[in-house]
């Protein structure tokens, strides 16, 4: 039997309602039935991905590693109809290769675009140039907040029609948990978190605070209040800590494009947890004072006040939590998957057209790209 390379196994079969088509992807989406009913990711791919993706390598070795994977993707993608990816460097090189080396590109959809480009002087940076080429080589970029359509278009000097806003989804469908109210405040995660803000906001308050973080370096030089406990929690423990909290806080930094946290507060809302997010642009997901509380990034006093409001008023917290759980129905994974599948079908049928943004966030229409 001929041995195949990891890149040759970067494939999944997808069946649309009308016609089967094949897709190149590393996303298994936790084996959710709404995904696996149309997407089948070979087990070999998951093994290869776990063994090779995200290795701690020196700069040169990492560059060679990423270029090798990108070359595999570029070569084998010709056998498939559409590509789903995130936005790491492997994908960046793959997308640039399509932009510069193919007249007829394989439709490529960024379904996770977790990139900060910046504004001002950064427009002349190599980073900006590379991501601009990558986006030009793609069919569609899905972004997780409606404000990112404008901010990415401006930062990359590209038409807004290249970007489509789609509500991201909760991810706790394959993890068991028990919802309780154990009287503590919970915060967790590492990407773009502002834990110095949270520590300042809860200092001196009479509430127990648990922070789950795998990156202890972000706490170096910070004075940890006596009421705060920092844990290194694996996924199952992380989810149960969230499920046992009275209040969930997502302290986020202010960044020019993608900030993150959507998955985390979507999970908390799905559990019915009253949630505070330090991002006023999270209003795509949370109606302020109704399904959660939004406070400005960097405002420790506003965050402190919101925490006290929920911890001291259990009836208000229960009401917001119940409203959040109802609102989280819009964040069900199958709704996001449906958007991805419909965009895939339109990308496959459009060739020289692109999917534009309609007046209503989360919806899209077919518009010319050239």
The model's pLDDT over 309-354, given as tens digits with 9 standing for 90+, comes to: 999 999 999 999 999 999 999 999 999 999 999 999 889 885 333 3
CA 262 → CA 143, 258, 352, 361, distances in Å? 11, 10, 32, 16
**Model pLDDT for residues 235-289, shown as the tens digit of each residue:** 999 999 999 999 999 999 998 888 889 999 999 999 999 999 999 999 999 999 9
In sequence order, the β-bridge partners of residue 125 are none
The pLDDT of 289-297, averaged and rounded, is 98
Confidence of residue 45 (pLDDT cuts 50, 70, 90): low
State residue 364's pLDDT score: 40
Q: Are strands 20-24 and 364-368 parallel, antiparallel or unpaired?
A: unpaired
- Nearest of 195, 297, 310 to residue 247 by alpha carbon: 310
pLDDT value at 162 more than 90? yes
The pLDDT of 168-190, averaged and rounded, is 95
Q: Is 293 helix (H, G, I), strand (E, B) or coil?
A: strand
Confidence of residue 175 (pLDDT cuts 50, 70, 90): confident
State residue 36's pLDDT score: 84
Q: Phi, psi at residue 108, to the nearest 5°?
A: -125, 125
| Residues 113 and 166: beta-carbon distance below 8 Å | no
Task: Give the pair of three-digit tokens for residue 92.
Answer: 């960046």
Block residue for tokens 């039997």: 1
pLDDT value at 207 more than 90? yes
**Model pLDDT for residues 107-118, shown as the tens digit of each residue:** 999 999 999 886
The pLDDT of 179-204, averaged and rounded, is 96
- Which of 12-26, 122-136, 151-165 is least confident? 12-26
List own/partner pairs for 359-363 with CB under 8 A and 24 or more apart: 361/146, 361/165, 361/284, 362/146, 362/165, 362/166, 362/167
Distance CA 201, CA 253 (A): 14
Q: Is 250 helix (H, G, I), strand (E, B) or coil?
A: strand
The H or E element spanning position 142 is strand 140-143
Give Cβ neighbours of residue 231 (< 8 Å, ≥ 6 apart).
210, 211, 212, 213, 237, 241
DSSP per position, 146-197: THHHHHHHHHHT--GGGEEE-------TTS-------SEEEEE--TTB-HHH
State residue 50's pLDDT score: 63
pLDDT value at 5 more than 80? no
The pLDDT of 50-56, averaged and rounded, is 60
Block residue for tokens 């959040």: 324
State residue 43's pLDDT score: 61
In sequence order, the β-bridge partners of residue 13 are 22, 40
- DSSP secondary structure code for residue 30 in this structure: G
pLDDT value at 96 more than 50? yes
Distance CA 46, CA 67 (A): 19
pLDDT value at 153 more than 80? yes
The pLDDT of 48-60, averaged and rounded, is 64
Confidence of residue 127 (pLDDT cuts 50, 70, 90): confident
The pLDDT of 63-77, averaged and rounded, is 88
State residue 174's pLDDT score: 84
């Amino acid at each position: 039997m001929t041995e195949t390379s990891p890149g040759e196994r970067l494939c999944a079969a997808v069946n649309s309602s009308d016609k089967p088509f094949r897709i190149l992807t590393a996303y298994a989406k936790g084996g959710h039935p709404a995904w696996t009913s149309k997407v089948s990711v070979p087990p070999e791919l998951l093994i290869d991905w776990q063994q090779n993706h995200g290795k701690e390598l020196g700069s040169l070795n990492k560059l060679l590693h990423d270029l090798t994977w990108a070359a595999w993707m570029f070569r084998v993608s010709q056998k498939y109809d559409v590509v789903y990816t995130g936005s790491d460097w492997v994908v960046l090189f793959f997308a640039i290769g399509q932009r510069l080396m193919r007249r007829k590109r394989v439709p490529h959809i960024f379904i996770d675009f977790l990139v900060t480009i910046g504004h001002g002087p950064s427009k002349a940076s190599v980073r900006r140039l590379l991501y601009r080429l990558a986006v030009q080589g793609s069919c569609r970029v899905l972004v997780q907040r409606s404000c990112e359509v404008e901010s990415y278009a401006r930062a990359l000097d590209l038409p807004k029609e290249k970007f489509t806003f789609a509500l991201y989804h909760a991810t706790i469908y394959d993890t068991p948990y028990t919802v309780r109210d154990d009287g503590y405040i919970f915060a967790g995660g590492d990407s773009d978190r502002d834990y110095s803000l949270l520590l300042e906001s809860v200092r001196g308050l009479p509430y127990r605070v648990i922070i789950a973080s795998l990156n202890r370096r972000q706490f170096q030089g910070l004075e940890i209040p006596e009421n705060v406990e920092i844990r290194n929690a694996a996924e199952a423990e992380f989810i149960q800590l969230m499920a046992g909290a009275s209040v969930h806080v997502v302290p986020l930094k202010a960044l020019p494009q993608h900030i993150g946290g959507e998955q985390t507060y979507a999970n908390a809302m799905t559990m019915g947890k009253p949630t505070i997010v330090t991002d006023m642009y999270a209003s795509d997901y949370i109606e302020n004072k109704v399904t959660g509380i939004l406070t400005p990034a960097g405002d420790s006093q506003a965050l402190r006040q919101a925490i006290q409001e929920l911890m001291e008023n259990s009836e208000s917290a229960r009401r917001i939590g119940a409203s959040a759980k109802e609102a989280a129905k819009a964040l069900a994974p199958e709704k996001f998957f449906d958007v991805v599948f419909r965009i895939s079908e339109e990308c496959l049928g459009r060739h020289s057209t692109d999917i534009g943004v309609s007046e209503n966030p989360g919806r899209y229409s077919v518009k010319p790209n050239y």
